[in-house]
Amino acid sequence: MCILIMGVSTSSYSSYSTIPTWTKSRETHKKVLDAIDEFGRTRKYLMNIGEYKSKTVVDLIKDRKPQVMVELGGYVGYSAIAFAAALRECGGSVYYSLEKSPEFGKVIVNLTDLAGLGNVIKVVVGSSSDSLRRLHADGALTQIDLLFLDHYKPLYTQYLKICEELGLIKVGTVLAADNVIKPGNPPYLEYVRSSVEKKNRDLAAISEPELKGNPNLIYESRLVEGWEPSGVPNKVRNEMNPDHWWTLDVAKNCSEANGGLAQTAPVAREPY
């Protein structure tokens, strides 16, 4: 028996693939990830984080043991499956995958259920800004332990500020932001590396800022080299994927920073 796992009908994708049904186990998610990887290699290129690159965040999950994770941009569910499986193994409770496209949202739901992670992954369809506010207003989301940003780069800073204003970013929250160098995301890097004083100066210079964020939060920021989805180190670049560097940012409040806490627990292992 075979079942449909990929049937994305958008302006870019109209391809299909099938995989066998399996008896679900704690390892079923690996078979689903392998099938998606194979589809991307042989049928249609998919902008997934990939087997090798995802190890950076999986190691981060193992180290930090978050209870609640949120990803902004779910695509076809690859990152949700890879990271939610690690979250489950570490005793975490819920992984929110926020995806704007209803078509991709359906794909994520189908694949995460097939992977045996439907009870861990909650797929929320709609703009991330609306979804974050709605989840918070409903009481479903009160804090984020690990936030994964790998969607539309110009919105990284905007959505982070929304999370800050809602009080979802706590001291110790970790941000894992992909694709931040060349052409990268200079506004995001500047924001997470800014001092409290600079953030307040920037706010004072705007008569009515649309989003204020929380200027009293600062981040211990670390740049980590990643991998191409194919497993090629980032030092070997190509035109399609010129940037696979991460920042891993740990939230601290200004009193902690001024108190001299220059180090926190290790953010992540060195890349492979």
Q: 85: closest CA among 136, 52, 42, 121?
A: 121
pLDDT band at 124 (very low <50, low <70, confident <90, very high): very high
**pLDDT at res. 23:** 54
Q: Is the pLDDT of residue 266 over 90?
A: no
pLDDT at 143 over 80: yes
Task: Extract the runs of DSSP E, i.e. beta strands, from the chain.
Answer: 2-7, 16-20, 68-72, 94-99, 121-125, 144-149, 169-178, 217-225, 245-253
Q: State the pLDDT confidence band at 165, using cuts at 50, 70 and 90.
A: very high
pLDDT in tens, 175-205: 998 877 756 788 999 999 999 999 999 999 9
Residue-wise pLDDT for 214-249, tens only, equals 999 999 988 877 655 544 444 333 333 334 566 778
Domain topology for 49-258: Rossmann fold (3.40.50)
Of all residues in the chain, the percent with pLDDT exceeding 70 is 75
Residue 23, exposed/middle/buried by CB under 10 A (0-12, 13-18, 19+)? Answer: exposed
DSSP state of 265: S
Tell me what the pLDDT averaged over the chain comes to.
80
Tokens at 254, concatenated: 């200004």
pLDDT at 26 over 90: no
CA distance 56 to 148: 12
